[in-house]
Structure 1
Amino acid sequence: MEFHYRKACLADADGIAAVHVESWQSTYRGIVSDRYLASLSVEEKKVKWERILSEDHHTIVSTTKDGVVVGFASVGKERSGEYEGELYAIYLVKEYQGKGIGRELFSRSISSLKALGYHDMFIWVLRENASKTFYYSYKPEIVKEETIIIGDERYVEEGLLLSL
C-alpha cells in the first residue's frame, strides 16, 4: 500500500481528530479507564486541531493514496523551556501500525526540528504504554518523570530526550 506525507492543512483537522481519538482508544485500552476513553470526542479534537492548523505549526500527516489521514505527528518548541524541540504528538490508526509509517513520521519530525535549528527532541510517554519501545529504539535518555491525571486516575509519564 502506498502512503503520502505532507504538511497538514486546515482541511485535515477532521481526519487528524479521528486518528487522535481512535489511536488513544486502541493504544490506551487497558491502561486508561474505559469511561475516559469512551468520553473522547472527535468533534472536540477537531476544534483543537482547527485551532492548531490555523496557526504556524509543524504537523505532518500520512495519508492513503485516496487522501484518508491514517497518521500524524506534530512537533515544535519544547513547552517548559528546558530543552529545544518537542514531539507533541504522534499517532497512527491501529490497522496501519507496523508498516513503517510511524518511523517515517518520526524521521520527518526530526527533520522539521533540525530545520528550526533545534538539536534535541523531548518526548513524554506514559510508562504503561507498550508502544514506548518505538521511542526507546532511538536510544533516548530518560530525563524526567511526572505524575499526571487522566480522567480520575494518576499515571506516570517518562520524559525522554533524544539528541538530533
Structure 2
Amino acid sequence: MQSNRKGQIRTANFGDVAKIAEIHVQCWKETYANILNQEILDQLDAQEKLILWQAITRSLDHQLLVYIEDQKIKGFIDGFLNPENNVAEIRAFYLLQEIQKQGIGREMFQCFYDYVVQKRYQFIRLEVFNKNPSRFFYEKIGAELIGEAELPEFGEGITELIYQWEI
C-alpha cells in the first residue's frame, strides 16, 4: 500500500468491485463522450462490468490497484500478467476527472511498475484509442508507441495505439 498526501493506493479486494464497475462506466462516458458514437456509450452497463471485475478480482493473473481518497475509490489500474511472453498488459487505467492532473495517475502507474519489476517482467504494454487524450500522459511517463490497429467497430478514424515500456 502506498499513500500520498490526499489518499492511498492499495490492492483491490472483492468488496471494491461495485465501485470499480461504476467508475469504469463513468470514465468511459466522460472520456469518450465526443470521441465514440453515443450508441456505444449508451450501451455501457455497470452491472455487466461488475461481473467482469468480480472475475478479475479473483484472478491470480491480474494486479488490480485502487486509489482511495476520503474513504472512496476514485480510480483504478488493472494489469494482466502474462508469464508466457513476459509482458504485463495494462487492461484498464481510469481516474475520475476530479482527481486527474494531480500526479495520482503517475503514482498509480509507479506502484504497478514497481510490482511488475518485482515479478521480473520485461515489458508493460497498454492499448489506447488514438483520440483519447490520456495517450499524451503515457508518452510523458516514457511509453513508446510500438503499433496501431484499425477499430472500425468504434467509428470512423478510431484506431488503437499500442504503447510499451521496457523495464
Q: Same-fold call, TM > 0.5? A: yes
Alignment-mate amino acid for residue 74 of structure 1? D
Q: Identical aligned pairs, as a percentage?
A: 26
1:44 maps onto 2:48 in alignment: yes
Note the alpha carbon deviations across 1:8-61, whole angstroms, 9 max, x for none. 001100010111111111111111111211211111111110111022131000
TM-score by structure 2 length?
A: 0.88
1:71 maps onto 2:75 in alignment: yes
SS at match of 2:151: strand
Alignment-mate amino acid for residue 58 of structure 1? Q
Unaligned runs of 5+ in 1: none
* Aligned residue runs from structure 1 range 13-162, under 5 A: 13-56=17-60, 57-66=62-71, 68-78=72-82, 84-150=87-153, 153=155, 155-162=158-165
8 Å CA contact retained: 1:76, 1:113: no
SS at match of 1:117: coil
Partner of 2:11: 7
Q: Runs ≥4 in structure 1, deviation > 6 angstroms? A: none
8 Å CA contact retained: 1:32, 1:150: no
Alignment-mate amino acid for residue 7 of structure 1? T
Separation in 2, partners of 1:53, 1:63: 17
* CA apart distance, 1:150: 4.5
* CA apart distance, 1:140: 2.2
Alignment-mate amino acid for residue 44 of structure 2? L
SS at match of 2:17: helix
Note the alpha carbon deviations across 1:65-113, whole angstroms, 9 max, x for none. 32x110000113259x656221111101111111221111111111121
SS at match of 1:5: strand
Separation in 1, partners of 2:36, 2:94: 16
8 Å CA contact retained: 1:31, 1:128: yes
* CA apart distance, 1:124: 0.6
TM-score by structure 1 length?
A: 0.90
8 Å CA contact retained: 1:5, 1:63: yes
Alignment length, in residue pairs? 161
8 Å CA contact retained: 1:85, 1:113: yes
Alignment RMSD (CA, Å): 1.8
